[in-house]
């Protein structure tokens, strides 16, 4: 198992840039859902493919839709996008 390391500074808004090498080593991609767990002095990122049971926050639902949409063919993605837009316009 090859471990990748990088040292980063946490930004003023709590953000950390993950270098491409780290993303590739962890099989992470933009829009992917990750679970964050904090322990003393460290944060653990775990990639997940579904919303964990009980988490219906807007962020979790949005992440799930993005991840699920990536698995659809383009025509179905467009139909889903149109349906979501129509629903949003009605609200």
CA distance 74 to 81: 10
Encoding tokens for residue 30? Answer: 């933009």
Residue 47 — φ and ψ, nearest 5°? -70, 135
Q: Which pLDDT tens digit goes with each residue over 26-68?
A: 888 887 778 889 999 898 888 876 666 567 788 888 888 888 8
Return the sign of the alpha-carbon dihedral for residues 64, 70, 73, 78: positive
For residue 2, pLDDT beyond 60: no
The Cα–Cα gap between 21 and 5 comes to 9
Report pTM: 0.49
């Amino acid at each position: 198992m090859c471990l990748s390391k990088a040292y980063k500074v946490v930004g003023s808004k709590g953000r950390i840039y993950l270098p491409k090498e780290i993303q590739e080593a962890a099989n992470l991609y933009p829009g992917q859902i990750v679970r964050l767990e904090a322990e003393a002095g460290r944060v653990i990122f775990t990639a997940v493919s579904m919303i964990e049971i009980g988490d219906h926050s807007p962020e979790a639902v949005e992440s799930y839709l993005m991840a699920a949409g990536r698995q659809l063919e383009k025509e179905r993605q467009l139909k889903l996008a149109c349906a979501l837009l129509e629903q949003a316009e009605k609200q």
